[in-house]
A and B are shown apart, each in its own frame.
Chain A
Amino acid sequence: DAEITQSPRHKITETGRQVTLACHQTWNHNNMFWYRQDLGHGLRLIHYSYGVQDTNKGEVSDGYSVSRSNTEDLPLTLESAASSQTSVYFCASSESKGAADTQYFGPGTRLTVL
């Protein structure tokens, strides 16, 4: 069955370190998304991609970057981790770019920045 996976599921790091969270989907979806979930804020969009070599900033992109070198993967990099980036991160994918699109979510990565 097609699926979307994230790794690691849990990560503890120190302030200032570079961290990369992996997202891999086997749906063959063109679109991939990264969200963060914080208490009181729901899910907020960090970055998204509509295809290979395409990346776009979302609502809360400062301090994060993504790259899309193939269809299956969209890694999220925290260039210099900050305590404010402690959160649960979700990756999602979808098939189409249009209005009738439905997103499917990975299991999440819990990141703690000390």
Chain B
Amino acid sequence: GIQVEQSPPDLILQEGANSTLRCNFSDSVNNLQWFHQNPWGQLINLFYIPSGTKQNGRLSATTVATERYSLLYISSSQTTDSGVYFCAVRSYSGAGSYQLTFGKGTKLSVIP
């Protein structure tokens, strides 16, 4: 099956700093999502981004499908950005079905 690798696994930032999280995937994908899992465990959709660039406030994401990677940018980080960021890719699994495969996540800690 498709492999999804995220880096770095852990990241500690001072409040106000910028960061880039990376997601590499091993095969062609039909779409890609970024999620934020907050400290209470809730998974929140950040971006649906099969290709190109999207921005939402201080967060933006870029996917280069031909090179099999996606980047999530966090600018002017805040303590509320802490949590785990997951990349998930959708690929064809046969019989008309598509499945979502998750990376292991990047754990972000933003300190005041």
Contacts and interface: CB of A to CB of B under 8 A. Distances in A.
Interface residues of B, number: 25
Interface residues of A, number: 27
A101 B41 CA distance: 23
Contacts of B68: none
Contacts of B88: 43
B102 interface: yes
A103 B30 contact: no
B90 A40 contact: no
Nearest to A107: B42
A88 B41 contact: yes
What is the interface of chain B mostly: helix, strand, loop, or mixed?
Answer: strand
B98 A103 contact: no
Contact of A99 (B4, B98, B105): B98
Interface of B: 1, 4, 30-31, 33, 35, 41-43, 45, 48, 50, 86, 88, 90, 92, 96-100, 102-105
Given A100-B48, A103-B33, A105-B42, 18 more contacts: A41-B104, A42-B102, A42-B105, A43-B86, A43-B88, A48-B99, A58-B99, A59-B1, A97-B96, A99-B30, A100-B31, A100-B50, A101-B31, A105-B43, A107-B42, A108-B41, A108-B43, A110-B41
